[in-house]
Amino acid sequence: MRRLAFLALPLLLAACAGSQAGSSAPAVGVGAPAPAAVDAARSAGGTAVNPAPNQGIPNPVAFNVDRNLILTANISMRSKDPWATSEKAQLIVATLGGDVLSLNESGSAENRTSSLTARVPSSNFGEALRQFRALDGEVVTSTVAGQDVTDQFVDLQARLAAKQSEEQRYLALIARANTIDEIIKVDQSLSNVRTQIEQLTGQIKAIKSRTDFSTLVLSVTPIPAVVPPVEEPSKAWDPAKTFARALATLGAMLRVFADFAIWIMVFGAIPLIVLGVGLVATRTRRPVAPTAPTT
C-alpha cells in the first residue's frame, strides 16, 4: 500500500500545484515594479506616467510604471562629421549608465558613416532620446517602439511560484521516505521540478534584462555637399565675335549660291539640248522644192 501511495503522489502534487497557480496572485519578483513605487505614482497624478523627468519631447510610447515594456528607438541623422557625432553619442550613453552593444564606422574623408547600437536604463530612456536628437546634425527619421510583455512576465512568475511550492513538498516527502525505492522516485520528480524552475528563472531574467534596459540605434551619414550654381557666360558686346559670326554667315550664303549655280548649269543645259535636237530634226524632214524644166 505504501508503494501505491508513492506512485500516486506525483499526480496529487501536480493537481495541488495547478490549483495554487490558478488561485495565488503573482509575487513581486524579478523585474516587477515595487508596490510603493506604483502607489506613489498613482497618488501623485492619478494615472501612471513616465517615471523619467519631463524632457520636453514627444514620446509616442505609453511608458507606464506598472507595465513591463521593451522600448526601442531608431534614429537616423545627417552630420558633417559622422564619426565625431558617434563619439558624442557614446559619451551620452556612458553618462546615463548604459553601454555600447555595437559600433560600426566606415568610409573616409567626406564619405564617413557610423552606426551605433546602445542600451540605457529604461528610467533614462527619454533623456537619452532627447540628447541623441540634440546632437550636431540633422535628424532625418526618429521612431520609438514599445512591446508590452506584462502578461508574459506575470504568467512566468506564477508558474515559477507554483514550481517552487512543488519543490518544497518534494523536499518534505523525501525527508519522510523510508526505503531506497521511495527516495529514488521522489528524487527523480524533484530533479524534474528543479529543471523547470531553472528554465522559468532564466526566462524571467531575460525579460527583466530587456525591460530594465532600453535599446537605441543611431545611424549617421554625411551631409551631401552643396554644388555651387554654374555662372552664365558674360553677355557683353564683343565686336570681334560679331564679325566672326558675320563672316561665317556670309560664307554659308556664298556656298548656297554656288550650289544653286551648279544646279542651274547642270539642269539648265538639258532644255537647250532638247531644243537643238528638235531644230535639227525639223530641218532634215523639210521637202525639197521641185526645179523648173528647161526649154
Is the per-residue pLDDT at 221 higher than 80? Answer: yes
Residue 101: its H or E element = strand 99-106
What is the model's pLDDT at position 175?
Answer: 86
How many Cα neighbours within 13 Å face the side chain of 100?
16
Is 104 among the domain residues? Answer: yes
Q: For the chain, give the mean pLDDT.
A: 75
How far lies 229's CA from each of 74, 189, 232, 234, 253, in Å? 35, 82, 9, 15, 39
Is 245 among the domain residues? Answer: no
Is the per-residue pLDDT at 238 higher than 80? Answer: no
User: Helix 150-176 crosses helix 2-23 at what angle (to 10 degrees)?
Assistant: 150
Is 206 among the domain residues? Answer: yes
Is 254 among the domain residues? Answer: no
Say if pTM beats, i.e. exceeds, 0.85: no
**Could you give the strand order of the β-sheet that contains 113-121, starting from the edge strand earlier in sequence?**
99-106, 113-121, 213-222, 69-79, 138-148
Report, as an integer, the average pLDDT of 52-57.
Answer: 38
Count up the domains in the chain and report the number. Answer: 1
Is 271 among the domain residues? Answer: no
Percent of the chain with pLDDT over 90: 35
Report, as an integer, the average pLDDT of 200-209.
Answer: 90
The CA-based dihedral angle spanning residues 16, 21, 24, 29, taken in that order and rounded to the nearest 10 degrees? 130
| Lowest pLDDT segment from 27-41, 151-165, 197-211 | 27-41
Q: pLDDT by residue (tens digit) across 83-116?
A: 999 999 999 999 999 999 999 999 887 889 999 9
Residue with cell 501623485: 44
Is the per-residue pLDDT at 234 higher than 80? Answer: no
Is 182 among the domain residues? Answer: yes
Q: In which domain, by residue range, is 172 found?
A: 7-222
Is 2 among the domain residues? Answer: no
Is 265 among the domain residues? Answer: no
